[in-house]
Amino acid sequence: MQTENDKTISDYIASSKSYNQTDDSLKDEDNAAWIMQLPEGDTKRWISVLHWVRLADRLLERDRLQAGNTAYTFSRFLADWKKARSGEPVEDSEHTTLFSELQELWKDEGLVESDLTTWDLYLTSLEKYTRPGIIIGDMEEYEKALYGLSGTFFQAFPFKPKEHHKEAGILGTLDQFYNNLRDLHEDSARGVYYFPEALLQKFGIDRSELPKLVKEPDSRFVDMNEFLLTSFVPKLKSEAAAILSSGNLHPSWKLMIRNNFRRYSRIEYVFRLANHNAAKFSTSYWDHVRADTSPEIREKFRTFKSTLRI
């Protein structure tokens, strides 16, 4: 039986090791090992937000797979969330500590109702855009979905430069694009495809072909992904230019941006190395993550003990 002293950071930010094909602890390492380079106080602030983000995601996924078989559900989480964001203490909850820490963070950051509305949008987007069989209509809705799933919580990260609120959301949109590319094989197994219908039509692809194309890509599928990498991605980078070139960012944001762009390059490199074959990508990518992360940081990340509990 796992004890409190056995828990790793992946346990604390609500990763699962059974609901997906890929161990989510690897995803957490890929996305967030860099925070181990921060001072301890800064690390804990980031972990509070990451915990909230991952917990909502894991609970919703677990509910869909194990409906009625879990004690703490996504609906219960939403009820606790509504209490917390209105300033009420969250008592008799498995996550009292988390919500208390978030309330303290909001005070320190001086967040107002419009800020918390962005957090609400993340939860709404999770419910709307992570369902199997979801169909996104066009590129405008595609960008809206990516923003809802990630741009929102980038705008919720601690030490966010308030003058770059919009650009922070665009950075999150870019981040979600690369996460989707990384997780394409896993998502396809769940019947989740984020390619918008208009984009599929542009490249002559029927949605029913996607399960085969992610494993056996043809020229149409390759061209579609290259279009996204060489057209959509540069557009987002251009729109985020102000925050990327800002000299007034908190050190944690500078580190986050530097490490995220290194990750984007790694995902893109391995995806092309696999000839756009998402199945082959998924079998080799994590070796690159391990090779690109220093053993010291990986060990510190693995053994980090948080005050948070799940």
Q: What is the pLDDT of residue 135?
A: 97
Q: In the structure, what pLDDT confidence band is assigned to residue 32 with cuts at 50, 70 and 90? A: confident
Q: What is the pLDDT of residue 69?
A: 67
Q: In the structure, what pLDDT confidence band is assigned to residue 310 with cuts at 50, 70 and 90? A: very low
Widest CA span in the chain: 56
Q: pLDDT tens, 235-276?
A: 999 999 999 999 999 999 999 999 999 999 999 999 999 999
Q: What is the pLDDT of residue 300?
A: 75
CB neighbours of 264 closer than 8 A, spacing ≥ 6?
174, 178
Q: pLDDT tens, 54-101?
A: 999 989 988 888 766 668 899 999 999 999 999 999 998 989 999 999
Q: How far apart are CA 304 and CA 36, in angstroms?
A: 8
Residue with tokens 């199945």, as numbered in its chain: 279
Question: Average pLDDT for residues 99-128, to the nearest whole number?
Answer: 95
Structure tokens belonging to residue 1: 């039986």
Q: Give percent of the chain with pLDDT exceeding 90.
A: 75
Contacts 24+ apart (CB under 8 A), 238-247: 239/167, 239/170, 240/167, 240/170, 240/171, 240/174, 241/167, 242/164, 242/167, 243/161, 243/164, 243/167, 243/168, 243/170, 243/171, 244/167, 246/161, 246/164
DSSP-derived letter for residue 92 is S
Selected from 3.40.50.2000, 3.30.420.40, 2.40.30.70, 1.10.600.10, the CATH number assigned to the domain covering 36-303 reads 1.10.600.10
